[in-house]
Amino acid sequence: MNREEAIKQAEELVGGMTLEEMAEQLRYDAPAIERLGIPEYNWWSEGLHGVARAGQATVFPQAIGMAATWDDELIKEEATVISTEARAKYNAYSSQGDRDIYKGLTLWSPNINIFRDPRWGRGHETLGEDPYLTSRLGVAFVEGLQGDGDFLKIAACAKHFAVHSGPEALRHEFDAKSNMKDMWETYLPAFEALVIEADVESVMGAYNRTNGEACCANSYLMEKVLRGKWNFEGHFVSDCWAIRDFHEHHKITSSPEESAALALKRGCDLNCGCTYRSILEAYDKGLIDKEDIRKAAVRLFTTRFMLGQFEHNEYDDISYDVVECKEHLKVARKAAEESIVLLKNNGILPLSKDRYKKIGVIGPNADSRRALMGNYHGTASRYTTVLEGIQDYVGDDCRVLYSLGSHLFLDKEEFLAKEDDRIAEAKIVAMNSDVVILCLGLDETLEGEEGDTGNAYASGDKRDLMLPPGQRRLLGAVLAVGKPVIVCMMAGSAIDMSVADEKADAVVQCWYPGAQGGKTVADILFGEISPSGKLPLTFYKNEDLEKMPSFEDYNMKGRTYRYFKGTPLYPFGYGLTYADNVVESVSADKTYSEMASKAGSIDFSDARKAYETLSDTDMTVKVKVSNKGRCATEDVLQIYVHVNSDNEVDNAKLAAFKRFSIEAGETKEVEVKIPNRAWVVIDKDGNRVSDGSGAKITASLGGINPCPANDNGSGFVSIDI
């Protein structure tokens, strides 16, 4: 159903409601209106990396792991699975009269905020630190969720709009101040892409203020940019209980009625929370009028009509047996395979069952289900931890010894024991093993949303980039035994792995790899699959925090690979394979002056038309890549550009990428398209300009920030255009 038709039907339906009925429909837990044939509907559902909090579902790698695939086609396939399962569950639940929270068709995903600071606890919910990568993967995710049928398959939601990435502990009263250059260069591009390219059906506001105005009632963001420049036609939803923060924490209003009125008049249609229960009081006080209420209700029912909730549609017959079916689990396994990033390998990997007959598996995340899942997850019918994956893989061919080694974050496992009560066992296991697989990291109890799951650090943010002290002592003790050690890091953010990088034989970033992630880790370790993931964020050393602005400072200078001036531990885009791939040459079919001339002629007063022009791919780049190794693999070609302009970011920026496969000994040409937006820079006022004198293109297989880890033979090939 097209939007015009849905609006017409929504207006007719809303026109038959009383004022009280309209007001009640603006709550996330909208009640039924039986006389109009409207069933109750709970708008709050989650689908970050699988249908969440609604029972059984296929559990994919956490979002940051999805981003590490650098595979937009796969991301769309994952989202298609999620939307299919969401429809199946909605159909089944509705048939039982169950219309409870988390069981609807409006999934509040994806989270496309920029992971600007490595301390942010919710960073693992995002698609990384780069605006371009986030926009490409975000668009693919929304397209997979919403489908291409006659009706919306699922209504996706771009969140949290905008300029939002911690600190979690302050979010209810915090004012994130951003200059216009950072706003349009970093914080808004992914939202712009999802609104204009993917026609995302909803946008969620953030808890914090941005430049003095609450994000759920922000005149600049919501009226001038979202509804104005971008002509967004879907509905806007508050983050949960964010409107209550207006009067309780931000102190920009003095009562629930004033808060409800401010949000509603600025264009917040749906309240996740309780403040819109005061809408009628706001109306009685003259703070809003009937048209404000009616307009929001029409937008919400437009979405419901587009979802086909009031007539039979092509998705009504999706049956429950698709949930966690064989085909969906296959996609989840592929996602896990492509997400895992090999950070160091002195040649020990892949392991051989013939060489290593006794394998020690140690660490608090070795046999942890929590370490598979991340947060905002569904419930799988079966989980395979790393320990179980290794046991299943080696079978009776090898002996597997296991030790917890340490608590995840406390100094001991048993309450009455002394500190480090599991380290002796870990050393014994290491001494009796031919090789040790040490599984360290975090889980959703240590990094996540403020107040989520009772996390050990109440805010969910990290204090620093170090592992918990007990795990650091465990790492040192196991390394001191002198056996070969492979560190498997299961975390959703940058951890300082300097000690492991220096002393371990291999380091593998596993993220939170999904319900069957342990099987995939085993397949990677034993060479059934060559690792091919790439970091979607920079991995710093802990002391690098001293070189960055404070966590509360939203200025991008000094942050992420585009602005960081130091030497990171592992750079954005980095990741090894079991092959030996190198970039041989790069060529472009056009010059910078040709591209800049076209970009410079764009009329930016029509934002949508300008964006479409900027999305054109007029430059073709051809890169010759060779596999000088002895195994086939997949890899990711990355294209970075840097315009010679005072308005350009400090370092080069990602402009294109492409996943490809290559056989052992093969040389092939990989062709990629660079969109016109790569040649436009942002001035201090947030304007797009083409004022460069030239540009450089760099082709790489592992990021471009200089650091010791990147001296792996792949090199970079750059050309001036």
Q: In this structure, are 317 and 338 located in the same domain?
A: no
Q: Closest Cα partner for 504 from 545, 532, 459, 474?
A: 474
Instruction: Taking the CA atoms of 66, 70, 72 and 74 in sequence, report the sign of the dihedral they define.
Output: negative
Q: In this structure, are 602 and 517 located in the same domain?
A: no
The packing angle between helices 189-196 and 131-146, to 10°, is 30
Q: How far apart are CA 291 and CA 271, in angstroms?
A: 17
Cβ-contact 486, 349 below 8 angstroms: yes
pLDDT at 477 over 50: yes
Q: Closest Cα partner for 153 from 27, 31, 306, 322?
A: 306
CATH of the domain at 489: 3.40.50.1700
Domain boundary residue, one of 513, 540, 567 = 540
pLDDT at 486 over 70: yes
- Mean of the per-residue pLDDT values of the chain: 96
Is 546 inside any structural domain?
no
Number of structural domains (the chain) is 3
**Considering 71, 117, 182, 239, which one is annotated as catalytic?**
239
Is 636 inside any structural domain?
yes
pLDDT of residue 450: 87
Q: In this structure, are 170 and 45 located in the same domain?
A: yes
Q: Which residues of 494-515 are buried (b: 16+ CB within 10 A; e: fewer)?
A: bbbbeebbeebbbbbbbbbbbb
Is 557 inside any structural domain?
no
What is the domain extent for residue 632? 581-720
Domain boundary residue, one of 517, 540, 563 = 540
Q: In this structure, are 299 and 339 located in the same domain?
A: no
pLDDT digits (tens, 9 = 90+) for 207-231: 999 999 999 999 999 999 999 999 9
Could you give the residue ranges of the DSSP H alpha helices within 105-248?
131-146, 180-182, 189-196, 244-245
Residue 595: φ, ψ to 5°: -70, -45
CATH of the domain at 39: 3.20.20.300
Cβ-contact 204, 108 below 8 angstroms: yes
Q: How far apart are CA 42 and CA 196, in angstroms?
A: 27
CATH of the domain at 708: 2.60.40.10
pLDDT of residue 453: 52
Is 674 inside any structural domain?
yes
Cβ-contact 325, 56 below 8 angstroms: no
239 catalytic residue (yes or no): yes
pLDDT of residue 456: 44
Phi-psi label, residue 664: left if phi above 0, alpha if psi -120 to 50, beta otherwise: beta
Cβ-contact 551, 167 below 8 angstroms: yes
pLDDT of residue 457: 44
Q: Closest Cα partner for 269 from 302, 305, 228, 245?
A: 302
Which has the higher per-residue pLDDT, 665 or 713? 665
Is 259 inside any structural domain?
no
Q: How far apart are CA 589 and CA 623, in angstroms?
A: 12
Residue 266: φ, ψ to 5°: -85, -10
pLDDT digits (tens, 9 = 90+) for 490-504: 999 999 999 999 999
pLDDT at 673 over 70: yes
Q: In this structure, are 443 and 372 located in the same domain?
A: yes
pLDDT digits (tens, 9 = 90+) for 244-302: 999 999 999 999 999 999 999 999 999 999 999 999 999 999 999 999 999 999 999 99
DSSP category for residue 316: T
Beta strand 485-490 with 506-509 is parallel
pLDDT at 644 over 50: yes
Q: How far apart are CA 164 and CA 185, in angstroms?
A: 14
The residue type at 390: I
Is 241 inside any structural domain?
no
Q: In this structure, are 438 and 463 located in the same domain?
A: yes
pLDDT digits (tens, 9 = 90+) for 513-566: 999 999 999 999 999 999 999 999 999 999 999 999 999 999 999 999 999 999
Q: How far apart are CA 300 and CA 23, in angstroms?
A: 12
pLDDT of residue 617: 79
Counting other chains too, the contacts that 249-252 makes at CB distance below 8 Å and 24 or more residues apart are: 249/172, 249/173, 250/172, 250/173, 250/209, 250/214, 251/173, 252/209, 252/213, 252/214
pLDDT of residue 607: 85
The residue type at 65: G
Cβ-contact 592, 599 below 8 angstroms: no
**Model confidence, pTM:** 0.97
Is 564 inside any structural domain?
no
Q: In this structure, are 294 and 152 located in the same domain?
A: yes
First CA to last CA distance, the chain: 46
Q: In this structure, are 347 and 416 located in the same domain?
A: yes
DSSP of 121-145:
TTGGGSS-S-HHHHHHHHHHHHHHH
Q: In this structure, are 309 and 420 located in the same domain?
A: no
Q: How far apart are CA 254 and CA 447, in angstroms?
A: 33
Q: In this structure, are 300 and 336 located in the same domain?
A: no
Is 243 inside any structural domain?
no
Q: How far apart are CA 66 and CA 49, in angstroms?
A: 8
Q: How far apart are CA 296 and CA 285, in angstroms?
A: 19
Residue 112: φ, ψ to 5°: -115, 20
Q: In this structure, are 314 and 376 located in the same domain?
A: no
pLDDT of residue 454: 44
- Compute the C-alpha angle 272/555/162, nearest 5°: 20
CA distances from 176 to 173, 246, 254, 259, 694 (A): 10, 15, 21, 20, 34
- Helices (H) and strands (E) counted in the chain, each on its own, are 21, 23
Which has the higher per-residue pLDDT, 78 or 608? 78
Cβ-contact 58, 329 below 8 angstroms: yes
Could you give the residue ranges of the DSSP H alpha helices within 454-536?
469-481, 498-503, 517-525
Q: In this structure, are 302 and 341 located in the same domain?
A: no
Domain boundary residue, one of 540, 565, 598 = 540
pLDDT digits (tens, 9 = 90+) for 422-435: 999 999 999 999 99
pLDDT of residue 706: 58
Cβ-contact 707, 567 below 8 angstroms: yes
User: Rounded to 5, what percent of the chain is helix, strand, coil?
Assistant: 35, 20, 45
Q: Closest Cα partner for 357 from 387, 395, 405?
A: 395
